[in-house]
Amino acid sequence: MQGNEACVEGALDAGVTFYAGYPITPSSEIAEDFAAKLPRVGGKFIQMEDEIASMAAVVGASLAGEKAVTATSGPGFSLKQEIIGFAGMIEAPCVVMNVQRAGPSTGLPTSPAQGDVMQARWGTHGDHPALVLCPSSVADAYLLSFQAVNWAERFRTPVILLLDETIGHLRERVILPRKDEMVIANRKQPQGSPESFQPYDILDEDLIPPLPPYGSGFRFHTTGLYHDETGFPSNRPEVTHRLLERLHQKIDKYKETLFLYETYGLRQANQLIISYGASARSAKAAWRIAREKGLLVGLLILKTIWPFPEEIVTQVGHDKNNIVVAEMNRGQLIGEVERVMDKRIPVRGAQRADGVLITPEQILAKLEGVN
Amino acid sequence: MPKKGNVYINENWCKGCEICATFCPKKILGLRGDGKMEVMDPENCIACNQCVLRCPDYAIKVEVIDNNE
Amino acid sequence: MELEKYFRIEKLPHIWCPGCGHGSVMMSIVKGIDKAGWDPTKVVVVSGIGCSSRAPGYMNFNTLHTVHGRPIAFATGIKLANPELKVIVITGDGDGAAIGGNHLIHACRRNIGINVVLFNNQIYGMTSGQYSPMTPQGSMATTSPYGNIEPPFDLCELTRSAGANFVARGTVYHLPKLDNYMEKAFAREGFSYVEAISQCPTYYGRRNKLRSPLEMLEWQKKNAVDIKKAQDMDPEELKGKIVTGIFAEKDEEEYTSKYDQLISSVQGGKK
Ligand SMILES: Cc1ncc(C[n+]2csc(CCOP(=O)(O)OP(=O)(O)O)c2C)c(N)n1
Ligand code: SF4
C-alpha cells in the first residue's frame, strides 16, 4: 500500500464521508482514491475550483454533519490558511492533509521536504492552537489519519496530517489493525431541546460544546467573529478572553494523551536523536549504525509535533550530553528542542533542504564519537 | 367606504431615514426633532401599507380599521 | 407574515445605517422563503463578510457567517453533504464579484442547488467606501478619488452564460418585482442568482451627489430599464443603465441529484 492511499483508508475507516480538494503533486493520489471510494460508501467527493474553496466546502460539509477531509501540498496549504483559522474559531471538525514538497513557492513539486512545520503551527493568523501529526511510515499514515479524524471530531478542531513526498509515495507492506479494534470518535450531540440550545454553552468538563448537524432542528448562528455562548458576536474583552483561552485549554487539557511518539534504545544512552516524518527513517538507520559501532545513542521519533511534546522531550533528553534533531528544512522543530533544553545540553541540527531525503550519514556526522 | 388604518411606529427600530414618508401617498408621516418618524396626520391613513413595505427597518405596522364596527 | 416566525427579533434593530437598502433586500428574501413554504429548520443561510453579509445574524434559520468572498464554496459543501437542505447565500458586490467571483462562476457551471442573493450597493460598505467591481464608471470612491475608470461587471450576463438555472436583477425601488424574483428563484431547482440593487447612502450616495436614501431610490427608478425594453436599445443608450428583469429560466438538472445518481450506479455496479 502507498502512503497516500493509507491516508485515505485510515480516514474512511474513521468514518469520513466527504472530501473536497484541488489536485496538486504529491498529494493527488489522495483525491483520486477518495473520488473512487467515497461514492461506494455513499459518501461525497468534489473537486473544487481551488484550495480555498475546497477548505470552505469541507467546513460546510462538516457543519452539515459529515466527517470531512481535504488534502494538498505546500502552495495549496498556503491558500487554505484563512479557512483553517475559521474552522478553529467556529470549532468545525475537519482534517487537512498536507503532503509536503520542497518550497518556497512552486519549489520542487516531486521532492520531499519538511518546510511546512512552522506553517502548520502558525500558518493562519491570530493566536490559535494547532494539532499536527507526522507519519513516518505507511502504517503510520493509516493510523494517524484515523487518529486525525477522531481527534478532529472529539476536540472539534481542524487537525493537520503533515506528510511529505517520501511517505506519500512510499510503498510498504502494512498489516492493518482489525476494524473491531479501532474505536471511532463522533462529535458530541446536544442533550437538551432546540429551544434552550446555546451553541457555545460549555456544560462539560472537557470544555467542548456539542455540534448538531444542520437540518436536525437545532437552529443557531455561527461566525468567525469573537462570539459568546449564544454564537452571536461580542467584542467584550471578557468574552474574547474566555473564548481564546478555551480554544487553547480544550486541547492543552488533554495534551498528555495527544503526544504520540516512539523511542528506541534509551536505556544508558548518553546521546539522543530526535526526528519525525520521513527524516525519522534515516534517523532510525543512523541510530542502528551508531549502535553497531557501540555508541550509546537513543532515538525519539515524534508523531505529534504540535502541540510540541515538551514534557516528552524533556523527560527523554534531560540527561543526555548531545541531542541531534534531524529534519528536512533549515531548522524548524529544532528551535522547540533548544527552547526546552534551555542551553543546558548542546542541541545540533542535522538538516537538509535540497529536495533529497536526508541520509543516515548526515545524521551520524552530528553524533559524538563516530569518526 | 375607503379603507382606513392605524399606523404604529416602533421607535426603538426607526432610524428616521424618511423613506416611509416619501412613499406615503397621503403624506401623513414626518421626521420628528429627535430623529424618529412620527404619524402627523393619523386620520388620513388609507391602510395602503406602502410604509410597511418600504421601511428598511421593519419599524412600521398598520392595522386596518374595521369599517363595520 | 409574522416577523417573529423568521427573524431573531431580539437582535433587531439591525446594524445598517439609516436608509440603507440592505434591510429591504433581507425582507424580500424572507418573504421568498415564506412563499416557498420551507421548513425553517431545513434552511441554511450562508454569508461572507461585508455589511450585507451581516444579514444572517437576524434571520432565524441555520445561519453561517463565513469569511470574505467564500460563502458559495461553504454552501457547496453544505448542499452536497445534505441535498435536503435549502441553501441560500447572501453576498455583496465585493464579496461575490471580486474576491468570490470565481466561486460564483463554478457554482453556476455545476448548477448546484444554491440560491445566491447579491446585495449590490455598488461599493464596499463595510470597509468605508472603496470601489468594487460593480461600481459604475466615473463614480467616486475612497480608492477612486478622481473617478472610477473601471467598467462595472454585469453578473447577470455572467451567471447566465456560466449555466445558472435562474438569473434576475431587481432593485430596492421596485420591491414588489424583487419579491417576485425571490419567489421564482426559490421555487426552481438548481443554481439561482438574484441581484438586488441596494443603496448605501453612507459611502456611495454622499460621495456621488445622491444626498439622501431617497435620491438614491430615485436614481434606481430613473436608471432601471426592463430587460424587454433593453433588447430594443443600443449599447450607447444602455450605458449607465441598470437592466432589470429575468435573464434566465431553465430546468437543467441539478448537481446533487446527479451525484446521487452516480452513487446509486456505483453501488449498483458493485453488487
Ligand atoms: C480576506 C479579506 N480581505 C479583505 C477583507 C476586508 N473586507 C471586509 S468587507 C469588504 C468589502 C465588502 O463589500 P461588499 O461585499 O460589497 O459588501 P457591503 O459591505 O458593501 O455590503 C472587505 C474588502 C476581509 N474581511 N477579508
Ligand atoms: S455603510 Fe452602506 S451598506 Fe453599510 S450599513 Fe451603511 S448604508 Fe448600508
B2-55 pLDDT, tens per residue? 789 999 999 999 999 999 999 999 999 999 999 999 999 999 999 999 999 999
Q: How far is the CA of A54 from the centre of ligand 1 (A)?
A: 21
We report the CATH number of the domain holding residue A108 as: 3.40.50.970
C71-109 pLDDT, tens per residue? 999 999 999 999 999 999 999 999 999 999 999 999 999
Query: Are the CB atoms for A324 and A337 separated by under 8 Å?
Result: no
CA A252 to chain centroid: 15
* Chain C contact partners (≥3 CB pairs within 8 A): A, B
Residues A177 and A278 in one domain: no
CB contact under 8 A, C63 and A63: no
Residues A26 and A170 in one domain: yes
In a domain, C212, yes or no: yes
Q: Which residue, among A333, A236, A243, has the nearest Cα to A283 in the 3D structure?
A: A333
In a domain, C89, yes or no: yes
d(CA A121, CA C16) in angstroms, rounded, equals 38
A146-204 pLDDT, tens per residue? 999 999 999 999 999 999 999 999 999 999 999 888 999 999 999 999 999 999 999 99
Question: With 60 as the cut, is the pLDDT of residue A75 above it?
Answer: yes
Q: Hey, what's the cell of A306?
A: 504540535
* Cβ neighbour number for residue B31 with a 10 Å cutoff: 15
Structural domain of B24: 4-58
Residues A124 and A24 in one domain: yes
Beta-bridge partners for B64: B5
DSSP state at residue A23 = -
A117 touches chain C (CB under 8 A): no
d(CA C63, CA C42) in angstroms, rounded, equals 11
What are the E-state strand segments in chain C? 43-47, 62-65, 86-92, 114-120, 166-171, 192-197, 224-226, 242-249
In a domain, B66, yes or no: no
Question: With 90 as the cut, is the pLDDT of residue C269 above it?
Answer: no
Tell me the pLDDT band of C177, cut-offs 50, 70 and 90. very high
Q: Which pLDDT value is given to residue B68?
A: 63
In total, how many domains does chain A have? 2
C98 touches chain A (CB under 8 A): no
State the DSSP string of A227-280. B-TTSSB---HHHHHHHHHHHHHHHHTTHHHH--EEEES-TT-SEEEEEETTHH
A275-293 pLDDT, tens per residue? 999 999 999 999 999 999 9
Average pLDDT for C214-235? 97
A49 touches chain C (CB under 8 A): yes
A28 contact partners, CB below 8 Å, separation of at least 6: none
Residues A164 and A287 in one domain: no
Q: Hey, what's the cell of A102?
A: 520542497
A119-143 pLDDT, tens per residue? 999 999 999 999 999 999 999 999 9
A371 contact partners, CB below 8 Å, separation of at least 6: none
In a domain, A241, yes or no: no
In a domain, B67, yes or no: no
Q: For chain A, give the percent of residues with pLDDT over 70.
A: 100
Q: Which pLDDT value is given to residue B69?
A: 52
Euclidean distance between the first and the last CA atom of chain A, given in angstroms as a whole number: 38
Chains B and A touch (3+ CB pairs under 8 A): no
We report the CATH number of the domain holding residue A315 as: 3.40.50.920
Q: Which residue, among A350, A7, A6, A31, has the nearest Cα to A173 in the 3D structure?
A: A6
Q: Hey, what's the cell of C37?
A: 413554504
Average pLDDT for A261-284? 97
**In terms of C-beta density within 10 A (0-12 exposed, 13-18 middle, 19 or more buried), how is residue A108 classed?**
middle
In total, how many domains does chain C have? 1
Query: Are the CB atoms for A115 and A353 separated by under 8 Å?
Result: yes
We report the CATH number of the domain holding residue B24 as: 3.30.70.20
> A261-264 and A297-302: which strand pairing?
antiparallel
In a domain, A236, yes or no: no
A325-340 pLDDT, tens per residue? 999 999 999 999 999 9
CA-nearest residue for atom 2, ligand 2, is C200
Question: With 60 as the cut, is the pLDDT of residue C63 above it?
Answer: yes
Mean pLDDT rounded to a whole number for chain A: 97
Query: Are the CB atoms for C47 and C66 separated by under 8 Å?
Result: yes
Q: Which residue, among B16, B15, B23, B17, has the nearest Cα to B62 in the 3D structure?
A: B23
- Would you call C73 helix, strand, or coil by DSSP? helix
Lookup result for grid cell 530526535: A274
Tell me the pLDDT band of C270, cut-offs 50, 70 and 90. low
In total, how many domains does chain B have? 1
C204-213 pLDDT, tens per residue? 999 999 999 9
Please report residues of B whose CB lies closer than 8 A to that of C13: 12-13, 15, 57, 59
Average pLDDT for A234-240? 98
Query: Are the CB atoms for A26 and A73 separated by under 8 Å?
Result: yes
Structural domain of A49: 3-181
Counted residue by residue, chain A has a size of: 371
Mean pLDDT rounded to a whole number for chain C: 97
Tell me the pLDDT band of A370, cut-offs 50, 70 and 90. confident
In a domain, C271, yes or no: no
What are the E-state strand segments in C86-179? 86-92, 114-120, 166-171
We report the CATH number of the domain holding residue C79 as: 3.40.50.970
Q: Which residue, among C34, C159, C8, C173, has the nearest Cα to C91 in the 3D structure?
A: C159
CB contact under 8 A, A216 and C41: yes
Q: What is the pTM of this model?
A: 0.98
Question: With 70 as the cut, is the pLDDT of residue C271 above it?
Answer: no
d(CA A228, CA B54) in angstroms, rounded, equals 33
Q: How far is the CA of C247 from the centre of ligand 2 (A)?
A: 27
In a domain, B19, yes or no: yes
Tell me the pLDDT band of C237, cut-offs 50, 70 and 90. very high
In angstroms, the Cα distances linking A161 to A10, A34, A141, A199, C116 are 12, 16, 9, 28, 34
d(CA C49, CA C92) in angstroms, rounded, equals 8
* Cβ neighbour number for residue A27 with a 10 Å cutoff: 28
A91-123 pLDDT, tens per residue? 999 999 999 999 999 999 999 999 999 999 999
d(CA C198, CA C170) in angstroms, rounded, equals 9
Q: Which pLDDT value is given to residue C15?
A: 97
Structural domain of C247: 7-264
Q: For chain C, give the percent of residues with pLDDT over 90.
A: 98
CB contact under 8 A, A61 and C64: no
Residue ending a domain, among A151, A181, A211, is A181
Query: Are the CB atoms for C134 and C120 separated by under 8 Å?
Result: yes
Chains C and A touch (3+ CB pairs under 8 A): yes
Ligand 2 closest atom vs CA C51: 4
In a domain, A56, yes or no: yes
A235 touches chain C (CB under 8 A): no
